[in-house]
Amino acid sequence: MSIQWFPGHMTSARRKAAEAMEFIDVVIEVLDARLPEASSNPMIRELREHRQRPCLKILNKSDLADPAVTQAWLDFYNKQNGVKAVALSCKSAGDAAKVPRLCQPLALHRNSTHKPLRMMIMGIPNVGKSTLMNMLLKRRVANVGDEPAVTKSQQCHNLNDHMTLTDSPGLMWPKIAHDEDGYMLAAIHAIGRNATIDEEIAEHLAAKLLARYPGLLAARYGVDEKHIDGIGVVEAIAKKRGCLRQGKGGEPDMEKAAMILLTEYRSGKLGRISLETPESRAAMLAGQ
């Protein structure tokens, strides 16, 4: 299944982001630490590189990601020109407070009331942009929800007398080139459910977890990774959690079990899990 999702308002959002980029000094790109490169919108890179804007890449939800893999991604990004990468949790006030201080060295010439540092938060849907905005401003100015595309319009606020902060809607790109990226983005709920099938996403996630974190599956669901595949994992979850179809002779309810797996993965109940590494990303691109 090829997953594509590009709601109509995102065309306008991209145009407005391109216009705002002219007046921005630093782009704050919020990524999901569990799949940093898959959750990095190539259009954002194109926009900022066109204007030669430096970027602070925030690997958000790092408390849900494999710490060793996150460090590998930080090393990967911090070798790039004009990029500073940091891992944090935007839900932490202490972590969020670090962001302006990390942006300042990327635009040293902007640090006064006459020349305020102008930052813009960008990223795909549901990676934590609005949460970061609210934390930095210490008040609720952006809607937050566990659904992609909650924010629909651009907002600009004064952070203090020498810093401004612009929020922008979650921005996808028109065509997801790699099917693997589509599945991973759906697994973290960055794509609207109307564009996906939960059972297929859960089966793909289960297969990936079998390959990378079989011990966590065994600990949570009692799954034996030997002689089992992604479909078998979802079926095992259905049996363990009593997800059976009424009037169907006790058949497993695969849809309900799929949602259990997806929900518990997204919330971190399975453990700290990363879905891609710099090496796996390079291998995928080499095989395209």
Q: What is the pLDDT of residues 199-229, one digit of tens each?
A: 999 999 999 999 999 999 999 999 987 778 9
Buried b vs exposed e over 122-138: b needs ≥16 C-beta within 10 Å? bbbbbbbbbbbbbbbbe
Q: Report yes or no on 183 lying in a domain.
A: no
Specify whether 27 is located in the same domain as 80: yes
Q: Quote the pLDDT of residue 68.
A: 98
Specify whether 147 is located in the same domain as 221: no
Q: Quote the pLDDT of residue 8.
A: 66
Specify whether 151 is located in the same domain as 205: no
Averages of pLDDT over runs of 10 residues in the chain (288 residues) are 72 86 96 98 94 97 98 98 96 95 95 94 93 90 55 76 90 91 96 89 97 95 87 95 81 96 97 98 89
Q: Quote the pLDDT of residue 288.
A: 63
Q: Quote the pLDDT of residue 251.
A: 92
CATH number at residue 82: 3.40.50.300
Question: Taking a C-beta distance cutoff of 8 angstroms, is the pair 41, 175 a contact?
Answer: no
Could you list the residue range(s) of the whole structural domain that residue 70 is in?
9-167
Question: Taking a C-beta distance cutoff of 8 angstroms, is the pair 205, 230 a contact?
Answer: yes
Q: Quote the pLDDT of residue 279.
A: 97
CATH number at residue 261: 1.10.1580.10
Is this structure's pTM higher than 0.85? yes
Q: Report yes or no on 182 lying in a domain.
A: no
- 264 DSSP assignment: H
Q: Quote the pLDDT of residue 149.
A: 46
Specify whether 216 is located in the same domain as 139: no
As a whole number of Å, the end-to-end CA separation of the chain is: 16
Q: Quote the pLDDT of residue 96.
A: 95
